[in-house]
């Protein structure tokens, strides 16, 4: 979502980063471009005005203009102030009481139901036992969707007969959670196509009866400035404790997502990063600011890796690398593990300085490059995966036919793998002589 904004801001700030000293005119010229980038991204104009005023005041201080690394200091100021814009309220996600009740509210189509399931998975990672409550008696498809998602995650879903009052559904759901020993109840409420008094009254009554520790407003980040107005209306009518911004992996301009907290005063607590069950991240303002400015987000990358990779497998892989025994089977396994971490473009965006390559990498994935690699390796025999030296011309033609690819695709993969083996051998200091691959410039 933030690709266009991120590209524009990186372009502006890169001009400053290469300089030592900067002048007042340099700062003003850069801020004019930043202003255009933010407004084009649909950031609220008041937020833009206040943001630029703070940046300019700090950037024109004597300690910045007179320093020898003024360009870098200005970039740090932009990062700090962008973090401040995103840091409204207390984004801590609280789970107190047994059961702890979480109420999800929002308009129809905002992503409440999928967010409820993702939240159940999120709390499950911390050892809590969640129950989902389908409190939308008006739209049977929403109930069925929640039941399906619950089965996928092995999380029970409480549902009531059609026509049951919303308040009764919520209360019976909490009672059932207590009976089953569930310590977290996530209530997926009904949405409407637009705000109305009936919806607000329903949510107020439910909140008064269930006393949720968190009432999270689910907002579609692709809606634009309308989402800001909607959040303000909900916050005025019901005790909202925080926001869940969904669909930030979409292709909208994204500015409303940046300004919604600053305008409403509500903290963002979660970001919906994809449609996958694990596509929900706790919100960290400084990390998002770093991503937007192309500085990466190493902490989130490490957290994703820790969730995805098995420690024992990682040790075994490290040992294979030390012994220069890395095979095509291992390569396929690592590729599949990385895919579990999310879209490859999203992973690169988390790496400092790699944001500019994210689009190209994602285009390669979307074009089916990784699927071709998988198909080629899976069309090999065990012997061929372990020792590509045996891959003569006839074997390569057989693999190409079996994988539905071209012979040049097979040749390219084998060559790239051989080059990777050579590089690993150099990095690990050798490890014993291995036969080279046929036709490759090493042995």
- Domain co-membership, 289 together with 314: no
Residues 78 and 57 in one domain: yes
Alpha-carbon distance of 379 to 376, in angstroms, equals 5
User: 267 and 230: one domain?
Assistant: yes
Q: What CATH number has the domain bearing residue 27?
A: 1.20.120.140
Do 283 and 381 fall into the same domain?
Answer: no
Predicted pLDDT of residue 304 = 59
Flag whether 71 is in a domain.
Answer: yes
pLDDT band at 399 (very low <50, low <70, confident <90, very high): very high
Q: CATH code at 340? A: 1.10.260.30
Kindly indicate the confidence band of residue 174, based on its pLDDT and cuts at 50, 70 and 90: very high
Considering only residues 32 and 441, tell me which one the structure prediction assigns the higher pLDDT. 32
The CATH number of residue 231's host domain is 3.40.50.300
- Taking CA atoms, 306 is separated from 298, 300, 337, in Å, by 12, 10, 11
Q: Which of 239, 266, 295 is the last residue of a domain?
A: 295
If asked whether residues 76 and 104 sit together in one domain, one would say no
For residues 316 and 285, membership in a common domain is answered with: no
175-179, 266-270, 341-345, 389-393: segment of lowest average pLDDT: 341-345
Phi and psi at residue 364, in whole multiples of 5°?
-65, -40
Residues 69 and 181 in one domain: no
Quick one: average pLDDT of 269-295? 82
Question: Is 93 part of a structural domain of the chain?
Answer: no
Cβ–Cβ contacts within 10 Å for residue 253, how many? 21
Q: How confident is the model at residue 270 (pLDDT cuts 50, 70, 90)?
A: very high
Same domain for 126 and 223, yes or no, is yes
The answer to the question of residue 7 being in a domain is yes
Identify the top-confidence range among 103-112, 193-202, 298-307, 360-369: 103-112
Using the 3D structure, point to which of 35, 57, 86 is the last residue of a domain. Answer: 86
DSSP 7-65: HHHHHHHHHHHT-SS--HHHHHHHHHHHHHHHHHTT--HHHHHHHHHHHHHHHTSHHHH
Distance set, CA 237 to CA 113, 217, 263, 403 (Å): 22, 12, 16, 58
- Domain total in the chain: 3
Higher pLDDT, 316 or 201: 201
pLDDT of residue 439: 37
Q: Which of 6-15, 142-151, 357-366 is modeled with the greatest confidence?
A: 142-151
pLDDT at 201 over 90: no
Output the pLDDT for position 155. Answer: 94
Q: What's the mean pLDDT in 425-429?
A: 60
Q: Which of 140-149, 357-366, 429-438 has the highest mean pLDDT?
A: 140-149
Residue 175 and residue 421: Cα distance in Å, rounded?
59
How is residue 367 written in tokens?
A: 């074009």
Contact, 301 vs 347, CB < 8 A?
Answer: yes
Q: Which of 295, 316, 332 is the last residue of a domain?
A: 295
CB 42 within 8 A of CB 255: yes
> Tens digit of pLDDT for each residue in 28-84?
888 888 888 888 888 888 889 999 999 888 888 766 666 656 677 788 888 888 888
Residue 356 DSSP label: G
- Does residue 171 belong to any structural domain of this protein? yes
Percentage of the chain exceeding pLDDT 90: 26
Average pLDDT over the chain, rounded to an integer: 80
My answer on whether 67 and 106 are in the same domain is no
- The pLDDT of 421-439, averaged and rounded, is 52
For 67, the 3-state DSSP assignment is coil
Averaged pLDDT, 150-174: 90
Asked if residue 361 and residue 317 are part of one domain, the reply reads: yes
Q: Are residues 266 and 398 in the same domain?
A: no
Task: Using alpha carbons, list the distances in angstroms from residue 179 to 117, 176, 183, 186, 202.
Answer: 21, 5, 10, 16, 25
252 occurs within a structural domain = yes
Does residue 318 fall inside a structural domain?
yes
- The enclosing H or E element of 382 equals helix 382-386
Does residue 225 fall inside a structural domain? yes
Determine what percent of the chain is predicted with pLDDT higher than 70.
76
Range of the domain at 228: 100-295
Which stretch, 296-305, 348-357, 386-395, has highest mean pLDDT? 386-395
The answer to whether position 396 is within a domain reads yes
Contacts of 238 (CB under 8 A, 6+ apart): 105, 200, 203, 204, 207, 215
Same domain? 270 vs 404: no
């Amino acid at each position: 979502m933030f690709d266009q904004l991120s590209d524009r801001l990186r372009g502006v700030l890169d001009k400053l980063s290469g300089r030592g000293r900067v002048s007042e005119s340099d700062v003003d010229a850069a801020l004019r471009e930043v202003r255009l980038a933010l407004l084009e991204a649909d950031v609220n104009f008041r937020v833009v005005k206040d943001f630029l005023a703070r940046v300019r005041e700090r950037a024109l201080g004597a300690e910045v203009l007179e320093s020898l690394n003024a360009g870098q200091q200005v970039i740090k100021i932009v990062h700090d102030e962008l973090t401040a814009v995103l840091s409204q309220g207390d984004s801590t996600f609280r789970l107190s009481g047994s059961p702890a009740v979480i109420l999800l509210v929002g308009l129809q189509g905002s992503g409440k139901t999928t967010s409820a399931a993702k939240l159940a998975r999120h709390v499950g990672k911390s050892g809590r036992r969640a129950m989902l409550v389908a409190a939308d008696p008006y739209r049977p498809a929403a109930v069925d969707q929640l039941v399906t998602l619950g089965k996928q995650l092995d999380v029970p879903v409480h549902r009531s007969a059609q026509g049951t009052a919303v308040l009764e559904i919520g209360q019976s759901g909490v009672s059932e959670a207590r009976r089953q020993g569930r310590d977290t109840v996530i209530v997926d409420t009904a949405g409407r196509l637009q705000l109305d008094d009936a919806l607000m009254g329903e949510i107020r009554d439910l909140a008064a009866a269930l006393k949720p520790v968190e009432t999270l407003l689910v907002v579609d980040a692709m809606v634009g400035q309308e989402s800001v107005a909607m959040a303000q209306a909900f916050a005025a009518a019901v005790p909202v404790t925080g926001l869940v911004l969904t669909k930030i992996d979409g292709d909208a301009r994204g500015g409303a997502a940046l300004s919604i907290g600053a305008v409403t005063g509500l903290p963002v607590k979660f970001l919906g990063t994809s449609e996958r069950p694990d596509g929900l991240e706790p919100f960290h303002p400084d990390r998002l600011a770093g991503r937007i400015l192309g500085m990466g987000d190493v902490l989130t990358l490490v957290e994703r890796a820790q969730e995805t990779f098995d420690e024992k497998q990682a040790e075994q892989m490290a040992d294979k690398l030390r012994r220069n025994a890395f095979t095509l089977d291992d390569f396929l396994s690592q590729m599949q593990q990385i895919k579990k971490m999310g879209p490859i473009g999203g992973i690169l965006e988390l790496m400092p300085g790699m944001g500019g390559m994210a689009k190209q990498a994602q285009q390669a994935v979307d074009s089916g490059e990784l699927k071709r690699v998988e198909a080629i390796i899976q069309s090999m025999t065990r012997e061929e995966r372990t020792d590509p030296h045996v891959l003569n011309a006839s074997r390569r033609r057989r693999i190409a036919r079996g994988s539905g690819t071209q012979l040049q695709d097979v040749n390219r993969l084998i060559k790239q793998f051989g080059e990777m083996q050579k590089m690993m051998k150099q990095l690990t200091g050798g490890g014993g002589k291995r036969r080279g691959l046929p036709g490759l410039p090493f042995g």
